[in-house]
Amino acid sequence: MNKIFLNLGLQPLANEYRKRPINLSMKRGQLYNLKVCFNTKTKLVSISKRIPSEKMFNSKYPYRSSMSKTMQSSFKKLSNKIKKKFNPDLLMEIGSNDGALIKNFIKSKVIGVEPCKNLAKITKNKGYITYDKYWDFKLASKIKKKFKSVDMIYSANTLTHINDLKNVFTSINHLLSNNGVLIIEDPSLLECIKKNSYDQFYNEHIYLFSAIAVKNLLNRFKLEIFDLENLPTHGGSLRYFIKRKSNNKFKISNRVNIQINIEKIHGLNKLITYKKFSINVLKSKKKLLQILNKIKKDKKKIIGYGATAKAVTVLNYCNINRNLISNFTDTTPEKINNYMPGKDIKILKYNKNILQSYHYAFLGAWNFKKEIINKEKKFIKNGLKFITHIPFPKFID
């Protein structure tokens, strides 16, 4: 039974950047009501409105995994671990983006699946086998015909973006070898609740997984988690190592039950936890607006740092316009000189002196806090102050 616990109001599609700020309309499908629910039976948290994949993941998709050093090094580390521990003959990545992970493997041992043609082109041009198609049973059958089976399937920040999870896992089951391993990683619901990071919710993030919900889900497909890792990426993620129940090659690590117990202690299996979370989200909005309004009153300028999809949720939920945050800055070519979706705030190309003209920087890419603060030390020394809304709106010391 799905119970709505959070209403983040009217939102634009998070990655739909525009050359001009226009009034968006719900009628034209440019706005949708972002509500979040908890399934009391499966314990799965999801958003209530589903936007068709083709509207979100197409040849204009602007998100590139390789844009951050943090993600690059996370993928590099994982690749080394995969080679050492599992040494797969053939690895397939679902959602290979611009190749940040697959570039660490020999071309003959890796397959990319990436429906955004602009991104798939990047890895194709470098000589990697890339299917520019959505992950589904038809594609799994096509790959199976050619390669028979795949002994490792990896997917980061992708499966939570796909509405039909039954199709996702049936297709994985079809292609994965009997002793094969599936690794998935996605933002952790526990971290979201702990950090009050309501901006993890936007149209692309259809689901926010907990280990409890993943365990329940996998059970339906005769799959099970045999190990887990907590990662700092994307504001706190969980990496799940999954096998067939019939595969006895891997022992189930204690870490699995430990994580599930911690999640239960934090009440992730209970609706009341989510109701409390929604009260904290409202408090966060009020506090952030209070901080921004005070800065405006003092006639000081704020820039948003990192034009993230998460920041789109914050801006639209809190109704933050150009009068509060003058501009954003970002390194992604596809975002530069466009406007923050739903808002009149322009995204400027990042350069190393850009912060010079501002007194404050709102950390849109709070998940890269360390990397960014380190990069901008010089400005902080000269008086620039970073503002973050995670876990509660404040200035960063």
Smallest separation, CB 57 to ligand TMP (Å): 14
Interatomic CA distance for residues 222 and 169, integer angstroms: 10
- Give the pair of three-digit tokens for residue 7: 């209403």
Smallest separation, CB 379 to ligand TMP (Å): 13
What residues line the site for ligand TMP (CB under 6 A)?
67-68, 306-310, 330-332, 335, 350, 365, 367-368, 371-372, 375
Q: Would you say 112 or 306 has its CB closer to ligand TMP?
A: 306
Q: What is residue 139's three-state secondary structure?
A: helix
DSSP string, 320-351: --TTTS-EEEES-TTTTTSB-TTSSPEEEEP-
Nearest to 182 by CA among 240, 103, 102, 248: 240
Smallest separation, CB 118 to ligand TMP (Å): 15
Any long-range contacts for 37-40 (C-beta under 8 Å, 24+ apart)? 37/2, 37/3, 37/4, 37/5, 38/2, 38/3, 38/5, 38/271, 38/274, 39/1, 39/2, 39/3, 39/213, 40/1, 40/3, 40/271
Smallest separation, CB 343 to ligand TMP (Å): 16
Q: Would you say 88 or 235 has its CB closer to ligand TMP?
A: 235
DSSP string, 33-44: EEEEEEETTT--
Interatomic CA distance for residues 183 and 303, integer angstroms: 37
Smallest separation, CB 47 to ligand TMP (Å): 17
Smallest separation, CB 70 to ligand TMP (Å): 6
Q: Would you say 14 or 181 has its CB closer to ligand TMP?
A: 14
Smallest separation, CB 325 to ligand TMP (Å): 15
Q: Would you say 103 or 205 has its CB closer to ligand TMP?
A: 205
DSSP 8-state class, residue 18: B
Terminal Cα distance for the chain, rounded: 43
Helices of type H across 97-164: 117-125, 137-147
